[in-house]
C-alpha cells in the first residue's frame, strides 16, 4: 500500500499505456459500475479502443472509440426515443420509455438553455447527463467516439412530471470543480492511499468552492455568497477491513 499527495493532470493516454493497462484501471471499472447501475447494462461491451482514461482531479471516466457494431444499441440505451420502433404498427402501440439521462441540447425556449449548454461545453457531441445534484453520470458521443465520466457535482433536476430544471449551487459546484478539474487539473491537489494494484482505498481532491444563498428568512432577505475549499473523494471501507483481516 502506498500514500501519495500532489498535483497531476489525472489523464492516462493510449500514447503511454497499452489497451489492457487502460481497460484494467480502476477509473474504467468505476465508470462501468455507475453506468450499469443506472442503465442496466455494462459499459465495457461498447468500448473498443480506449483513447484516454480520466482520474482525479478530473471527473472519473474514459474516452473511447465504439466497439464495432455497438453504437446503435448504445444510443438506444441512452435515449430510447433516438431509436424508434422498426415498424409503424409498433410505433403506434409502444410509448417510448422515459430515458434515464437528460439531454443537454435543451429546446431554444428553455429558460435554462444557456446555463445547461454552457455546463455541457466540454462534451464532444450529443450530451446527456443523470438528473441528480450529487454524483452524476455524463455521456457525450459523436459518430465514432464516446466520453463517459462521473461528475462529482450534478445540477439537473427532473420532477415527477418530467419537467427539467437546474439547481443553482449544484451548477456552481459543477463549474468550479468538475469543469475546472477537466480544464486546469494541475491547480487542484489530490491525495490518497492506494493498494498493491494501484487502486484507491482513500482518495481526496481539494477544489475551489462557491455557493450562493438566495434571499430568504434565513439570510435576512439578502443574497449571500460563500467562497471556500471543498474536499471530495472516495473511501473504500471494505478494502481497509480486508487488509486488517489479512494481518
pLDDT tens for residues 77-130?
998 766 555 555 545 455 555 678 988 865 444 555 555 555 555 557 788 999
pLDDT (average), residues 3-31: 88
pLDDT score of 241: 35
| SS3 labels along 87-136 | CHHHHHHCCCCCCCCEECCCCCCCCCHHHHHHHCCCCCCEEEECCCCCCE
pTM of the entire predicted model? 0.77
160-189 pLDDT, tens digit each: 888 888 888 888 888 777 876 676 666 677
pLDDT score of 167: 86
Residue 244 confidence (pLDDT) above 70: no
pLDDT score of 106: 55
pLDDT score of 238: 46
Q: pLDDT band at 61, cuts 50/70/90? A: very high
pLDDT (average), residues 180-200: 72
Provide the residue ranges of all domains of the chain, joining segments of one domain with +: 9-187
Q: pLDDT band at 148, cuts 50/70/90? A: very high
131-145 pLDDT, tens digit each: 998 889 999 999 999
The mean predicted confidence, pLDDT, of the chain is: 78
Amino acid at each position: 500500500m502506498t500514500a501519495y499527495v500532489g498535483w497531476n493532470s489525472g489523464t492516462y493516454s493510449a500514447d503511454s499505456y497499452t489497451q489492457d493497462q487502460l481497460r484494467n484501471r480502476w477509473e474504467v471499472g468505476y465508470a462501468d459500475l455507475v453506468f450499469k447501475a443506472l442503465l442496466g447494462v455494462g459499459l465495457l461491451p461498447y468500448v473498443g479502443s480506449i483513447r484516454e482514461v480520466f482520474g482525479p482531479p478530473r471527473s472519473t471516466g474514459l474516452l473511447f472509440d465504439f466497439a464495432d457494431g455497438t453504437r446503435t444499441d448504445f444510443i438506444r440505451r441512452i435515449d430510447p426515443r433516438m431509436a424508434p420502433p422498426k415498424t409503424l404498427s409498433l410505433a403506434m402501440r409502444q410509448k417510448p420509455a422515459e430515458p434515464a439521462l437528460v439531454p443537454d441540447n435543451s429546446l431554444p425556449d428553455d429558460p435554462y438553455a444557456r446555463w445547461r449548454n454552457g455546463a455541457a461545453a466540454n462534451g464532444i457531441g450529443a450530451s446527456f447527463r443523470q438528473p441528480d445534484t450529487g454524483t452524476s453520470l455524463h455521456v457525450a458521443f459523436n459518430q465514432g467516439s464516446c466520453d463517459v465520466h462521473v461528475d462529482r457535482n450534478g445540477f439537473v433536476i427532473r420532477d415527477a412530471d418530467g419537467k427539467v430544471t437546474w439547481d443553482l449551487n449544484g451548477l456552481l459546484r459543477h463549474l468550479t470543480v468538475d469543469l475546472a478539474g477537466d480544464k486546469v487539473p494541475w491547480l487542484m491537489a489530490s491525495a490518497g492511499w492506494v493498494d498493491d494494484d494501484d487502486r484507491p482505498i482513500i482518495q481526496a481532491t481539494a477544489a475551489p468552492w462557491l455557493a450562493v444563498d438566495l434571499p430568504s428568512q434565513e439570510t435576512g432577505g439578502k443574497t449571500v455568497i460563500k467562497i471556500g475549499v471543498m474536499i471530495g473523494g472516495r473511501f473504500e471501507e471494505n478494502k481497509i477491513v480486508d487488509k486488517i483481516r489479512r494481518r
